[in-house]
């Protein structure tokens, strides 16, 4: 069967067009095009290094691949690829190379299967995208740390919540430090993906068992920035773990960003009034003229759900297949790439929107003790005076009920009432949000000195992460 497909010699008829379209991954594959060219140039180097092809053929192939790379960069290759009947971007690139170098182009696929080609190209994509995601998270962490350091200087406070109920007073810098700590974990996850995606090169593994041709796999591995060629061909061509790890890291990043976004969305309501979004990060209503909607942060929440769904789909597509390559992995790749591309967009939007959040520090601080958030400090003072934790909890709870019924905050007279109730004198106890915060003594607490130490430690860690660089293929 004469065909432009990369296979067909043993077939007597062309495939059904509808089924061929069903099996095509070309549109999904287009983002892989630049990485496939890089992969193919390394394969040419490995063929040359093993004396499988001549230097003349290698030079022609490399020149043709450079021309394809230029077309990919200027956007014309995508149009060319869509006009072909190729199943995927890899076949389209092979065909374009043969356009530019008809005789030499016939040697490009020597000793190579789409199995090892796709596995390698995908790893290059994963490495580059993980580095991009890491950079986005690092910029978000950098901003959050800067904002936390400024808030520490201002001394702004908020009523921290659990179950969305008033809990205890904390510094705004403490909340911002919490968000920064989350982003540091995100960075570390992406960093692991970058490292893992640079470990073993599948290129040269062939379809599943290696090659009888003396392909110099160590040359292509080094050229692509891998530590070594893969050890087991059958594993390397069916392995999509690192790709799924990237999608997992994206999903986890967006889940964290979604949690931060949830507080910002709620704080932006007039009922809270803790933050106001700049016009640049807000939208309005087509009907209600007064509306200022925190859409970027709402969309981040939704994209988190989408990334989790893509991760589940990717894992599901792998769960029922045997070892080595199966066409199901085409769908794994699609789920990964769709989830990663949309997820990266959401992570970038989250990072871009953060500086447009303006904190109403005076209002936040004024309400930091609302809801009896200093009650735990009174219980601690009672324990210091000799009461048990159970006695203190009950006594302070009873006094909170009294104050609540009288519609007033806790104040000094309550200390006298508590002392009479339990027979223990409380000499001093924090009666303001600021006093509560300053009274904290444990490592990692919201006390200003502890927050300052935490922020300094996180800044050092961020600097170390930014200094550490795992190479990217592009």
Catalytic residues: 163, 285
Interatomic CA distance for residues 442 and 354, integer angstroms: 30
**Residues β-bridged to residue 275:** 359
Question: And the tokens for 400?
Answer: 């909170």
């Amino acid at each position: 069967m004469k065909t432009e497909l990369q296979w067909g010699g043993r077939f007597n008829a062309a495939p059904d067009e509808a089924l061929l379209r069903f099996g095509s991954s070309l549109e999904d594959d287009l983002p892989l095009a630049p990485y496939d060219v890089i992969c193919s140039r390394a394969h040419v180097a490995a063929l040359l290094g093993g004396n499988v092809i001549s230097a003349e053929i290698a030079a022609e192939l490399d020149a043709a691949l450079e021309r394809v790379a230029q077309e990919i960069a200027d956007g014309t290759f995508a149009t060319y690829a869509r006009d072909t009947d190729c199943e995927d971007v890899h076949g389209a690139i092979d065909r374009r190379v043969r356009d530019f170098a008809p005789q030499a182009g016939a040697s490009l696929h020597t000793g190579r299967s789409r199995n090892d080609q796709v596995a390698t190209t995908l790893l290059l994509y994963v490495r580059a995208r993980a580095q991009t995601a890491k950079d986005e998270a690092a910029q978000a962490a950098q901003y959050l740390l800067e904002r936390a350091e400024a808030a520490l200087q201002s001394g702004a406070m908020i009523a921290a919540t659990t179950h969305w109920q008033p809990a205890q007073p904390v510094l705004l810098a403490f909340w911002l430090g919490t968000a920064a700590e989350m982003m540091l974990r995100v960075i570390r996850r992406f960093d692991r993906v970058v490292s893992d995606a640079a470990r073993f090169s599948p290129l040269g593994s062939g379809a599943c068992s290696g090659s009888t041709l003396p392909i110099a796999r160590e040359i292509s591995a080094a050229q692509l920035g891998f530590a070594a060629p893969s050890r087991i061909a059958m594993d390397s061509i069916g392995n999509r773990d690192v790709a799924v790890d990237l999608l997992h890291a994206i999903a986890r990043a967006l889940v964290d960003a979604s949690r931060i976004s949830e507080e910002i969305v709620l704080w932006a309501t007039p009922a809270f009034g803790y933050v106001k979004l700049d016009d640049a990060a807000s939208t309005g209503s087509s009907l209600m003229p007064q509306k200022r909607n925190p859409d970027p942060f709402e969309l981040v929440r939704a994209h988190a759900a989408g990334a989790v769904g893509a991760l589940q789909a990717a894992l599901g597509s792998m769960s029922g297949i045997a070892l080595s390559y199966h066409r199901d992995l085409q769908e794994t790749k699609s789920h990964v790439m769709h989830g990663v591309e949309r997820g990266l967009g959401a992570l970038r939007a989250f990072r871009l929107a953060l500086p447009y959040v303006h904190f109403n520090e005076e209002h936040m601080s004024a309400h930091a003790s609302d809801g009896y958030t200093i009650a735990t400090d009174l219980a601690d003072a009672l324990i210091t005076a000799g009461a048990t934790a159970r006695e203190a909890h009950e006594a302070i709870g009873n006094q909170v009920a009294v104050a609540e019924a009288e519609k007033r905050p806790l104040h000094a007279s309550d200390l006298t009432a508590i002392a009479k109730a339990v027979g223990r004198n409380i000499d001093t106890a924090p009666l303001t949000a600021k006093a509560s915060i300053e009274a904290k003594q444990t490592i990692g607490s919201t006390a200003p000195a502890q927050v300052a130490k935490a922020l300094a430690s996180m800044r050092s860690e961020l600097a170390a992460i930014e200094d550490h660089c795992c190479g990217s293929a592009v």
